[in-house]
């Protein structure tokens, strides 16, 4: 029997108890048969991206982040939309990955969960595609009015959202399996 795929989850919100963290925890609970999720907690600790520091020995926080990404088979990003765009801390983290290629052809599931979220979702898809992350239509989901669809116990309370999340989990697990066969 093969080892289960490992997924690193990145929450685009730095709030300690955000709606997006609730969604990540819900996905972790719902995907327990499919893959193992570890949540990255160092998003706010990453220094501002500076090409002068993006060398063979980047800042320690960046090196640790890149190492975590290199050790997993997939990445789950769940993020809100701030001011019609991606949160700055999340975009900063992705900027640190442009030259180092940890997301190159790596399966990524992108969930944008916000009041609207369309602009942030579109922006993040562009960034992820530019760095050659493997994001397909079935591993991305836009959840509008997100606060009404998950509770503080990380349970998805909206039936259609639950179904969409379950479908995303299935497709994400399949994508990781296909990548491991190549």
pLDDT tens figures, 63-94 = 999 999 999 999 999 999 999 999 999 999 99
Two structure tokens written together for 147: 């606060």
Q: Is residue 3 part of a domain?
A: no
**What proportion of the chain, given as a percentage, has pLDDT over 70?**
98
Q: Which residues contact 33 (CB under 8 A, 6 or more apart)?
A: none
**Higher pLDDT among residues 113 and 17, named by residue:** 113
**What proportion of the chain, given as a percentage, has pLDDT over 90?**
92
Domain extent for 82: 12-181
- HSE-CB at 79 with a 13 A cutoff on CA atoms is 32
Q: Is residue 4 part of a domain?
A: no
Q: Is residue 26 part of a domain?
A: yes
pLDDT tens figures, 132-151 = 999 999 999 999 999 999 99
Q: Is residue 5 part of a domain?
A: no
The number of domains in the chain is 1
pLDDT tens figures, 24-64 = 999 999 999 999 999 999 999 999 999 999 999 999 999 99
- CATH of residue 23's domain is 3.40.50.360
């Amino acid at each position: 029997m093969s080892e289960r795929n490992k997924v690193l989850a990145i929450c685009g919100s730095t709030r300690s108890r955000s709606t997006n963290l609730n969604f990540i925890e819900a996905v972790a609970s719902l995907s327990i048969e499919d893959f193992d999720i570890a949540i990255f907690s160092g998003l706010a600790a990453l220094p501002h991206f500076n090409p002068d520091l993006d060398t063979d020995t980047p800042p320690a926080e960046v090196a640790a982040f890149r190492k975590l990404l290199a050790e997993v088979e997939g990445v789950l990003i769940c993020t809100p939309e701030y001011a019609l765009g991606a949160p700055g801390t999340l975009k900063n983290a992705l900027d640190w990955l442009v030259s180092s290629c940890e997301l190159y052809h790596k399966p990524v599931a992108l969930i944008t969960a916000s009041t609207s979220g369309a602009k942030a979702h579109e922006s993040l898809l562009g960034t992820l595609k530019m760095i050659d992350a493997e994001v397909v239509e079935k591993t991305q989901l836009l959840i509008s009015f997100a606060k009404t669809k998950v509770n503080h116990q990380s349970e998805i309370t909206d039936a259609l959202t639950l179904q969409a999340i379950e479908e995303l989990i299935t497709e994400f697990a399949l994508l990781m399996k296909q990548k491991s066969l190549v």
